[in-house]
Amino acid sequence: MSFEIRRADLSALALGSGILGTGGGGNSYYGQLVAGQIMSDTSSVRVIDVTEMDAESYAISSAAIGAPLVCLEKPPSLRALQIGLDSVAAVLKGRVGAFVTAEIGGLQCMFPLMLAAQTGIPLLDGDGIGRAFPEIQMCTFMIYGTTPGLPLALSGDSGLLLDARAHGSETPRHDSPDEPSGIGVERRLRKICSDNGGLIYMTSTFDHKSLVRTLIRGTIGLALALGRAVESARGARKDPIAAIVETGQGRRFIGGKIIDVERRFRAGHDWGKVLLEGVDDDKGRIAEIAFKNEYLILRIGDEVALTVPDLITLVETETGNPVTTEILRPGLRVTVVGLPCSPLMKTTKALKAVGPKAFGYDLPYIGLHIPAQETNDV
Amino acid sequence: MKVVAGIDVGGTNTDAVLVRDGRIVERAKVPTTTDVRDGILAVLSRVKQDYGIERVHIGTTAFTNALVERQNLQTAAAIRVGSPVSESLPPMIDWPADLRRATDNLTFFVAGGREYDGRPIRPIDHAEITAVARTLTARGISQIAVTAVFGTSYPEDELQVAEWLRSENPALQVTLSHRIGRFGILERENATLLNAMLRPLAERTVAGFRAAVPSNLFISQNDGTAMRAESAAQLPIFTVASGPTNSLRGAGLLASLTEAIVIDVGGTTTDVGVLRGGYPQSAGLDLSIAGVRTNFRMPDLCSIGVGGGSLVDVASGAVGPQSVGFRIIEEALVFGGHQLTLTDVAVAAGRADIGNRALVRHLDPKTIARVDDHLRVRLSRLLENYDRLDRQLPIILVGGGAPLVLPLLRELGRQVESPPDAAVANAYGAAMAQVGGEASLTFSSSVSRKDALAKAEAEAHRRAEAAGARPGTTRTVELEDAALTYLASEALKVHARAVGDIGEAGE
């Protein structure tokens, strides 16, 4: 079940994780370049299933916390990641069995990959979101109570901000009983992040048992497969959209061009909606997609066609490149593809944290319905 | 009679127009010469006898060509100010191998740079910069690119580093990233380095222009504005996309349209761009110059493989992308050749009068109909990209192949303008340039969004005036803001651009 990621695969991984990023997750280009610096032409990272991990060991998650725009001036720092790892690994007395990413969508998946490349320790095939979400309480690790991932370290370019060696595995209390688990943590982290240059790294720990329960499995492999499918469709001059739909077992909703983008910045997030007018076979149809960093609600005409936590992803029609909310602009020709989220994200408990209501939309969750194959009798 | 001369120094030809009150009064074309001065003098001498020339605006592809051909580039040094931040992403990490080899540039990481909120990462260190200057002097390197973390928002460190470098060795020429690019350290640094590598060529080229035009000389920029010649000698990277920009703007001005689709039908491709408010709509995704990623605004151009020399498939009526290109005068049927091209079909259909019509008389009308069907689909798909729900933009058709598609576009119910001077649209666009100023600033949460936008706008206007705009004529053409999302304190990044008329005094 395990497989290898080589340097030559990084562009496919970045492309695929961008598609799973559903408009957010940051720009993975710098992450891809840094990972490429660490890997030589012959080295590779072994990606394993959680069942292949030593049950007595721990998986380390390395994630960036901060503003995606700050990453454009302060690119991924291997040094800061390494300092965080050293701090946590000291408490674990070396029992690090794997690295794991909290978020497959966008840039985040590159950080554990960098450390896996650097240390030779494998990377788990899976993540805690299966897409991208803006807040920490929105991952399965938090939803299903694996929090707060102790021992935990925070680090930045300047060094350690929170040393795992100082607090060990003692659980600090963050949350008030009324809030979904993790919101208090999120708020505190944001403050630390803002005070420390707008970008910090969190190194946290998960035991094998929790991961078996909460990991959304296979998403590194899925991102890689999506990226490879798009690259090979392009090479063969075939339709990259069809490749995404087939590989991701999703559905193509509408192809069109952007005619309007409305956005405002509020409470640290990029809110807005984008209006799309159908072209070619979709001529005459209108789609509206609401976003808060990520695309959340898809309306076709007056009807809600798909909502979070299922994936609403926009790609450039011609190239299959993911279109993030930052680069939306009128005239861009895009196709909207829906991809299924993990069953772990559809439970009542999960929908409370990641359903439309969690984002302030008074709508029920409308999931992905894939119509049966149309028969071609002619 | 005072006129403005617009000159387009292309790879093959040098075109010139004289413009008075926005109208072309003279036009001329001469072959481009190795010594650019000769071509410019020749083309000016053809047009200027009876006119007093107030200003000369030159558009040149010299620097674009140098980058693409990896010729005439100087070895430079990249100084990244921000250590230890960004060390995992060293300069030139994503450059094509041949360009890295051709340039042999050096890299330094030094202390300095800022956080998003302006706090220093580490203070810059005079002794460290002096040591770098000494190393550069010893290595014989005089072109330096300085890029500081958050340098666009807080340029002080870049300015200080430049001052210290020059105080150690006044011969060092320093390009500062905040003068060149935007947010995105690698892309901005890439453009800054390319600029440093082009500067010696730029100085020679501008000196050549100056030998022909001693005063009131302006050079075309990527964004459709012009800068003073002495600025171009320092900032050649700002000219690399000026060619297509001048063409698009020139076409719009000739047709008196500010909102339009410009279609340029050439020999091998048809290039399409859009004018919004008289300026080319810029591409939104990352853009490369000669294989190097930058974050410049460039015109959003779309190309399809349809041109006068495109090969036609008789069975399907499909056109291109294979083309006979400039060999059309040997290979097309109407010139006695053996290849069926789009030009042959147009001649057979009676839309163009090129070559010998008798040689295409045998073409089956059904073939012509199939080609027309094919082109109608291709053109309407292309146009769909630019149309809005509520309205279709008018089309400005230019280029040698314009007659081949004109009737088809009209059949599609489009308003099509085909201005008579389309062949000199590029030189005309150069002549009609304004001057501009840009500001890309970051504001902390203590400043309101309204104030932040106003401050950036005012700064852009100030910079436009510093570049030569007549006070009172400047107007804002771009104003965008983006929040540094996620941060508890709402930092805001604002980009503004203003343009204005070039002042009477010129230089």
A67 contacts B84? CB cut-off 8 A = no
The shortest CB-CB distance from A67 to any of B84, B385, B486 is to B486
- Evaluate whether B67 touches B289 at the Cβ level (below 8 Å): yes
CB contact under 8 Å between B481 and A265, yes or no, is yes
Q: Within a domain: residue B107?
A: yes
> Are A198 and B84 a contacting pair at CB < 8 A?
no
Q: Which amino acid is at B378?
A: R
Asked if B86's CB is within 8 angstroms of A74's CB, the reply is yes
Residue B41 lies in a domain: no
Query: Helices (H) and strands (E) in chain A — how many of each?
Result: 12, 17
Ranges of chain B whose pLDDT falls below 70: 1, 11, 48-49, 284-286, 387-390, 483-490, 504-507
CB contact burial B241-261 (16+ within 10 A = b; e otherwise): bbbbbbbbbbbbbbbebeebb
Quote the CA–CA distance of A33 and A15 in Å, as a whole number: 13
Q: What integer pLDDT is reported at residue B506 of this predicted model?
A: 43
| Inter-CA distances, B329 with B198, B423, B463, Å | 37, 20, 50
Annotate B108-128 with three-state secondary structure.
Answer: EEEECCECCCCCECCCCCHHH
- The whole-angstrom distance between B185's CA and the closest CA on chain A is 5
- pLDDT higher than threshold 80 for residue A16: yes
pLDDT at residue A331 in the model? 76
Question: Any idea which residue has 């319905």 for tokens?
Answer: A369
Please give the backbone phi and psi of residue B63, each rounded to the nearest 5 degrees, phi first.
-80, -35
Asked if B416 has any chain A CB less than 8 Å from its own CB, the reply is no
Residue after which a domain boundary falls, among B198, B231, B248: B198
Cβ-based contacts of A293 with chain B (< 8 Å): 485
Nearest Cα residue to B382 out of B283, B298, B304: B304
Quick check: B89 contacting A, CB < 8 Å? Answer: yes
What predicted TM-score, i.e. pTM, was given to this entire model?
Answer: 0.86
**For residue A266, what pLDDT band results from cuts at 50, 70 and 90?**
low
B492 min Cα distance to partner chain A (Å): 9
CB-CB under 8 Å, A134 with B88: no
Is A332 an 8 Å CB contact of chain B? yes
B116 within domain boundaries? yes
Chain A residue at shortest CA distance from B444: A194
Closest alpha carbon within chain A to B153 = A73
pLDDT of residue B412: 87
Cβ-defined contact of A75 to B94 (cutoff 8 Å): no
CB contact under 8 A, A75 and B281: no
pLDDT for res B389 = 56
Per the structure, the count of domains in chain B is: 2
- Asked if B202 and B77 count as a contact pair (C-beta separation under 8 A), the reply is no
Per-residue model confidence (pLDDT) at position B152 = 87
**Highest-confidence segment of A25-34, A162-171, A243-252, A280-289:** A243-252
A76-119 confidence digits (pLDDT tens): 999 999 999 999 999 999 899 999 999 999 999 999 999 999 99
Distance, in Å, from the CA atom of A278 to the CA atom of A257, rounded to the nearest integer, reads 7
> If you ran DSSP here, which 8-state letter would residue A340 be given?
P
pLDDT band (50, 70, 90) for residue A173? very low
* Alpha-carbon distance B245 to nearest alpha carbon in chain A (angstroms): 18
What is the SS3 assignment for B227?
A: strand
Q: Which of A77, A268, A316 sits opposite B85 (nearest CB)?
A: A77
The last residue of one of the domains, among B147, B168, B198, is B198
Nearest to B433 by CA among B31, B8, B12: B8
- Residues A197 and A157: beta-carbon distance below 8 Å: yes
Question: Which pLDDT score is estimated for A318?
Answer: 83
DSSP assignment letter at A300: E
Which of these, A107, A238, A284, A102, lies nearest to A182 by C-alpha position? A102
Measured distance CA(B326)–CA(B100) in Å, rounded:
33
Q: Judge residue B305's burial from the number of C-beta atoms within 10 Å of its C-beta, 0-12 exposed, 13-18 middle, 19 or more buried.
A: middle
Cis ω before A356 (30° cut-off from 0): no
Higher pLDDT, A315 or A190: A315
Is there a contact between A265 and B483 if contact means CB atoms under 8 Å apart?
yes
Query: Are B88 and A79 an interchain contact pair (Cβ–Cβ within 8 Å)?
Result: yes
Say yes or no for a CB contact (<8 Å) between B486 and A66: yes
Contact (CB<8Å) A70/B381: no
Q: What is the b/e burial string over B368-382, where b = at least 16 CB atoms within 10 angstroms of the residue's CB?
A: bebbbebbeebbeeb
The residue type of A154 is L
ipTM of the complex: 0.88
B310 in any annotated domain: no
- Please tell me the predicted confidence (pLDDT) of residue B286: 54
**Inter-chain residue contact A33 with B490, CB threshold 8 Å:** no
Nearest CA in chain B to A187: B488
| B272 part of contact set with chain A, CB < 8 Å | no
Question: B381: nearest CA in chain A?
Answer: A280
pLDDT value of residue A150: 84
- Provide the shortest C-alpha distance from residue B115 to chain A (in Å): 5
Tell me what pLDDT residue B298 has.
Answer: 76
Of B117, B300, B488, the CB nearest to A268: B488
- d(CA B281, nearest CA chain A) in Å: 10
Window 296-315 of B: residues touching A by CB (8 A cutoff) are 300
User: Would you say residue A274 has pLDDT above 70?
Assistant: yes
Residue B271, domain member (yes or no): no
Average pLDDT over residues A265-290: 86
Residue B311 located in a structural domain? no
Please judge whether A198 and B491 are an interchain contact, meaning their C-beta atoms are less than 8 angstroms apart.
yes
- DSSP letters along A217-236, please? ETHHHHHHHHHHHHHHHHHT
pLDDT confidence of residue B507: 41
Whether the CB of B149 is below 8 Å from some CB of chain A: the reply is yes
- Assigned domain for B162 exists: yes
Nearest CB partner across the interface for A74, out of B149, B285, B381? B149
Q: B88 and A280: CB-CB below 8 Å? A: no
> Hey, are the CB atoms on B300 and A331 less than 8 Å from each other?
yes
How distant is the Cα of A365 from the closest Cα of chain B, in angstroms?
25
Segments forming the whole domain that contains residue B157 = 71-198
Q: What is the pLDDT of residue A180?
A: 46
Residue B170 lies in a domain: yes
* pLDDT band at residue A271 using 50, 70 and 90 as cut-offs: confident
Instruction: Please choose, from the candidates B233, B345, B244, B351, the residue with its C-alpha nearest in 3D space to the C-alpha of residue B298.
Output: B244
pLDDT reported for residue A218: 97
- Choose the mutation target among A69, A103, A291 for the interface with B, i.e. most B CBs under 10 Å: A69
Contact predicate B139/B171, CB 8 Å: no
Is A378 a residue whose pLDDT tops 50?
no
3-class DSSP string for B342-376: HHHHHHHCCCCCCCCHHHHCCCCHHHHHHHHHHHH
Taking an 8 Å cut-off on Cβ atoms, the answer to whether B121 and A197 are in contact is yes
Last-in-domain residue among B198, B216, B251: B198
Check whether A144 has a pLDDT greater than 90.
no
The dihedral through the CA atoms of B201, B63, B228, B210 has a sign that is positive
CATH number at residue B143: 3.40.50
